[in-house]
Amino acid sequence: MSKTYHVNIATRTRDALFMTLLRAGVNMGTTSLLTVRGRKSGQPHTVPVIPVEQDGERFLVASYVVVQWVHNLRAAGAATVTRGRHSETISVTELPAQQAAPILKQYLSQVPTVRSYFDATPDSPLEAFEREAPRHPVFQITTKEKPSRRNAV
């Protein structure tokens, strides 16, 4: 049975630290900042994400099940991804389970820290990842606006 994701003070502190470091331009692997408008408030919300690349395409995976940024991204259909000093406006398409399965399998292999939130293991067949897809949505990224260099703060 997979672990349930709970936002607590440790999670908030970790995310705040990651966001501070990422905004300062510290390279943390492929970790990026996703900024998406709130579906109710309309205010921008920023969270750290780890995009995955497969066959020249990029994807966002909901590692910890369907959280607020997933709901907001579904509603908005667009967001901004920032890595280092480069930002780009993106649009996304949520993949059906069959297409999401190989992406989830690769993601689980590349990001071992999220394994406890999945019932499948990196060695599981694709069918197991198809069953995970409703709990861990996968979004294909399409660039709307070419990356731009942010002004130094």
pLDDT tens, the chain, 153 aa long: 555 555 678 777 877 887 777 777 777 778 899 999 999 999 999 998 999 999 999 999 998 888 899 999 999 999 999 987 788 999 999 999 999 999 999 999 999 888 888 999 999 999 999 999 999 999 999 987 665 565 444
Q: Give the chain's domain count.
A: 1
C-alpha torsion 37→41→47→50, nearest 10: -40
Asked if residue 24 is part of any domain, the answer here is yes
Asked if residue 132 is part of any domain, the answer here is yes
Asked if residue 3 is part of any domain, the answer here is no
**Helix, strand, coil % (nearest 5) of the chain?**
35, 30, 35
Q: What is the pLDDT of residue 153?
A: 40
Helices (H), the chain: 9-23, 68-76, 97-110, 126-132
Asked if residue 4 is part of any domain, the answer here is no
pLDDT tens-digit map of 45-54: 999 899 999 9
CA separation for the pair 41, 50 (Å, rounded): 25
Asked if residue 2 is part of any domain, the answer here is no
Tokens of 148: 């731009």
What is the Cα Rg of the chain in Å?
15
Give backbone dihedrals phi and psi of 58, rounded to 5 degrees, phi first: -115, 150
Asked if residue 28 is part of any domain, the answer here is yes
CATH number where 16 lies? 2.30.110.10
Q: Strand 78-83's sheet: what is its strand order?
A: 44-49, 32-37, 78-83, 86-94, 138-149, 57-61, 52-54
Domain extent at residue 80: 9-149
pTM of the model: 0.83
Asked if residue 33 is part of any domain, the answer here is yes
Asked if residue 1 is part of any domain, the answer here is no
Q: What is the pLDDT of residue 65?
A: 81
